[in-house]
């Protein structure tokens, strides 16, 4: 190689460290507040659970976690906003059985794609639903409710936290299995539907124990049964719907945290670890139990594995019950 050629090569090599130093480095994460989108109304079960989690994450990460409620269209509106966010670890979203497993079968088209536009962060846990009726309906068991509904077809009304929720589909499955005609009245979240149930505007509803539980304890509504395969530790005296004469009835709600596709893997793993600690810490056990929420911990992929496993189950519930967007 000629002398002037070697000089050109050496000059280029000498400049490489300077070029590398000039490249922008990713700041240590997190260095500013984190936004947690909850695609459901304030005061409902997802909101309450996320606010508790947000407080724990803020302590662990040293940054505020800001809850941003974006309700509407069975969680579709908030989830659409999540997938449009920058994948930098500063926007997360609550993702549950509705947005990940139910909506793909309930809606002809969705404004997001679970497997290509989102990444799983953590499966947080699950909560049962309770079948509750207004205090003056005059029934105290599932059998009595079925008998009343059959004697008054189309006269009873069933509130829910919204179309596509486990409360909505749980009610539709109940109607299908009991051969009853009960009018569905969807609301924009649990708080409104619970308020109207207590006020006598609707007759019954299925709702997460996290949101309806306090009203059961305070005697504002009459609880008849829970929706899971076993009794709830928070309400051990409440029978399951299986015990109450519906052997094929089982519905459980679950939820977790997702992020926009492309979020760095190291950030996802850090979040997963901190969420796992928050869910399983003995210091938080009483708080989760107070919400009737049964916490879980595991790798990020567990969230989407749960979603994919349950999607065909919910598709069959929708098909058999004839559930539709009201």
Indicate whether 245 pLDDT > 60: yes
**What is residue 189's predicted lDDT score, i.e. its pLDDT?**
87
For residue 184, is pLDDT > 90? yes
pLDDT beyond 70 at 198 = yes
pLDDT digits (tens, 9 = 90+) for 55-78: 999 999 999 999 999 999 999 999
Query: What is the per-residue pLDDT across 204-224, written as a single tens digit (0 to 9) for each?
Result: 999 999 999 999 999 999 999
DSSP 249-274: ---EEEEEEEEETT--HHHHHHHHHH
**Alpha carbon distance 183, 104 (integer Å):** 24
Q: Which pLDDT score, from 0 to 100, does residue 3 have? A: 47
The string of pLDDT tens digits covering residues 80-101 is 999 999 999 999 999 999 999 9
pLDDT band per the 50, 70, 90 thresholds, residue 17:
low
State the pLDDT at residue 19.
Answer: 46
pLDDT of residue 20: 45
Which tokens sit at 30? Answer: 């997190």
**Taking Cα atoms as reference points, which of 33, 46, 40 lies closest to residue 88?**
33
Query: Would you tell me how many other CB atoms lie within 10 Å of the CB of residue 28?
Result: 6
| pLDDT (mean) for 307-323 | 88
Q: What's the pTM value of the predicted model, to 2 decimals?
A: 0.83
pLDDT tens digits for range 123-178? 999 999 999 999 999 999 999 999 999 999 999 999 999 888 999 999 999 999 99
Q: What is the CA radius of gyration of the chain?
A: 24
pLDDT tens-digit readout, 34-56: 999 999 989 888 999 999 999 99
Other C-beta atoms closer than 10 Å to the C-beta of 312 total: 11
Q: Which of 7-11, 12-16, 238-242 has the highest mean pLDDT?
A: 238-242
Give the pLDDT confidence score for residue 139 in this predicted structure.
98
Mean pLDDT of the chain: 91
User: What pLDDT was estimated at residue 320?
Assistant: 78
Q: Write out the two tokens for 292.
A: 């009737």
Domains and CATH numbers, the chain: 34-127+252-321 (3.40.190.150), 131-226 (3.40.190.10)
pLDDT at 4: 52
Average pLDDT over residues 299-307: 97
CB atoms within 10 A of CB 139: 18
Confidence at residue 26, expressed as pLDDT on a 0 to 100 scale: 59
Q: In the prediction, which pLDDT does 114 show? A: 97
């Amino acid at each position: 190689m000629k002398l002037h050629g070697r000089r050109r090569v050496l000059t280029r090599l000498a400049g490489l460290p300077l070029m590398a130093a000039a490249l922008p480095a990713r700041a240590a994460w997190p260095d500013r507040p984190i936004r947690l989108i909850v695609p459901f109304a304030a005061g409902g079960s997802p909101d309450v659970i996320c606010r508790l989690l947000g407080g724990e994450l803020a302590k662990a990460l040293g940054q505020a976690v800001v809850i941003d409620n974006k309700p509407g269209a069975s969680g579709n509106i908030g989830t659409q906003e999540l997938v449009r966010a920058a994948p930098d670890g500063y926007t997360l979203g609550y993702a549950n059985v509705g947005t990940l497993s139910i909506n793909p079968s309930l809606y002809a088209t969705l404004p997001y794609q679970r497997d290509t536009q989102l990444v799983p962060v953590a499966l947080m846990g699950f909560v049962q639903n309770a079948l509750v009726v207004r205090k003056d309906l005059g029934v105290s068991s599932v059998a009595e409710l079925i008998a009343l509904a059959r004697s008054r077809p189309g006269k009873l009304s069933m509130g829910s936290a919204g179309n596509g929720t486990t409360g909505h589909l749980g009610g539709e499955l109940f109607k299908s299995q009991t051969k009853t005609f009960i009018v569905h009245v969807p609301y924009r979240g649990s708080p409104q539907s619970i308020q109207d149930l207590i006020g006598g505007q609707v007759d019954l509803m299925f709702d997460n124990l996290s949101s309806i539980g306090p009203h059961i304890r305070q005697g504002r509504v009459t609880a008849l049964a829970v929706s899971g395969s076993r009794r709830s530790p928070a309400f051990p005296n409440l029978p399951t719907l299986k015990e109450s004469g519906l052997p094929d009835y089982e519905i459980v709600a679950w939820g977790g945290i997702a992020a926009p596709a492309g979020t760095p893997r190291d950030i996802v793993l850090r979040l997963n670890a901190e969420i796992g600690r928050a869910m399983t810490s003995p210091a938080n056990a009483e708080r989760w139990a107070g919400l009737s929420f049964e916490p879980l911990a595991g790798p990020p992929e567990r969230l989407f594995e749960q979603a994919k496993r349950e999607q065909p189950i919910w598709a069959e519930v929708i098909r058999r019950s004839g559930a539709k967007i009201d």
